[in-house]
Structure 1
Amino acid sequence: MKVKIKKSYRYASDMESLKIANRVADSTKGNPSFPDAGPIQTRLEKVCGEYTGTINKAGRNDRTLAAVKNGKKAEMIGILDELADHVTAVSNGDPAKLLSSGFDISGIKAIDQNLAEVEKFTVELGGPGIAITRVKKVTGAKAYIHKCTPDPMTPDSVWITDTTTDRENTFTNLKSVSRYWFQVFVVGKDKQMKGSTLMSKVIQ
């Protein structure tokens, strides 16, 4: 099944659509996987704040205020559509990049049902050229995908990827006095997947 963004936010309730929009705004802000998304993200963040205000006012059962709220929701959804198209184009089907955007994804079963969040992600520097990635043990995990790539990170970056059943992984032969970006993804049953935050370190 093709992995793609679910646009269920178009038909969600006021609060649910706002929840999704805020999550996407937070997830795409400064996300190096989407370096050109900044202007759209800024507009989304702004309209989320405005929409929150209209929801609070529309609760007074005023038709005019309700119309303003609905108009602001339509504007927010339009920006979400624009950002979803941008994320889709840049991700080129990469599940990890799509997930990092904050959008809900179809084609990966039960993402939020059983697999716990990836927490306590750390990168420890070993000797020269060595970095150790580590996360808290994730309930329901079948595999851990440890990844790193040299700075600067771009959509075209080539990642070093180690897939293991261990929550800890040691990268070797990294270039000393160079900055690398690190991330860990966890895979559960039925192709569930969760990702950690991104972290960068300068290698010894």
Structure 2
Amino acid sequence: MKTQKARISFSKLKDNDLPSAAQLIVNKMTNNAYFPNPEPNLATIQTAITVYADALVKCLDGTKQDTATKNAYRLNLEDLLGSLGNYVNLIAQSDLIKLDSSGFIISKIPEPVGILDAPPSFNVLLGNNSGEVTIEIGVVDRASGYIVLYSELPAPADNEHWNSKLFSKSKGLLTNLKAETKYAFKAAATSSEANRIGLYNFSNTIEKLVP
């Protein structure tokens, strides 16, 4: 079971947003009874915030070296915050009250995707070579990929007896089909839950003569 933790990566924060995010953490961790012995100590992080903030100002109209210095100070501050976040997670043990008191952003528990709706559209186009067709599937939000079932006509009643191919994208190519043969095709969006139980909502079936 996944649990919530303090997020220890700050790489996506904009340069100007990092000092305030770091200062909030220092403020909330100061004299925080849940975290009596912060590691690294808060004075070290406070110094890193000040140095980085000063470097930010200096590099606005500064040289390339000033920018390089700012970037180095940013990496140092991120490393210190990451180490402090690890300490918080070790002490908090996923206790949300403790985590919230630390000032760190708390990770979210991803919601199950479930069984997705059938694709909004599905098309089968003739390929460039004999025995090929191009598959175009309407995009389904949160899909991990797509599964295409295909079979010579008459198609079996049970999906388990159809041929299948997984695609990571909504467009792909099916090859090695029998030339001058009529096939049936249908598609569905995949998710981890759907894959685990083998249950999908398929599109309408398309019949196509493969050249």
TM-score, scaled relative to structure 2: 0.49
Match of 1:11 in 2: 12
Match of 2:105 in 1: 104
Give the C-alpha shift of residue 5 in structure 1: 1.5
- Where has structure 1 moved over 4 Å in runs of 4 or more? none
Aligned CA distance change for structure 1 residues 43 and 51 (closer, same or farther; 3 Å): same
The answer to whether the Cα contact below 8 Å between 1:44 and 1:76 also exists between their aligned partners in 2 is yes
Instruction: Give aligned-pair identity as a percent.
Output: 24
- CA deviations 1:8-48 (Å, max 9, x no partner) are 41221111222211111111111111001165211111110
Q: SS in structure 1 opposite 2:10?
A: helix
Tell me, which stretches of 5 or more residues in structure 1 are unaligned? 110-204
Match of 1:34 in 2: 35
Letter in 2 for 1:98: L
Residue range with higher mean Cα deviation, 47-56 or 12-21: 12-21
Give the C-alpha shift of residue 2 in structure 1: 1.3
Q: How many residues align?
A: 109
The answer to whether the Cα contact below 8 Å between 1:10 and 1:17 also exists between their aligned partners in 2 is no
RMSD: 1.7
Q: For 2:40 and 2:93, how far apart are their aligned partners in 1?
A: 21
Whichever of the two has the greater Rg, that structure is 2
Q: For 1:39 and 1:12, how far apart are their aligned partners in 2?
A: 21
Tell me, which stretches of 5 or more residues in structure 2 are unaligned? 111-211
Match of 2:54 in 1: 53
Aligned CA distance change for structure 1 residues 56 and 72 (closer, same or farther; 3 Å): same
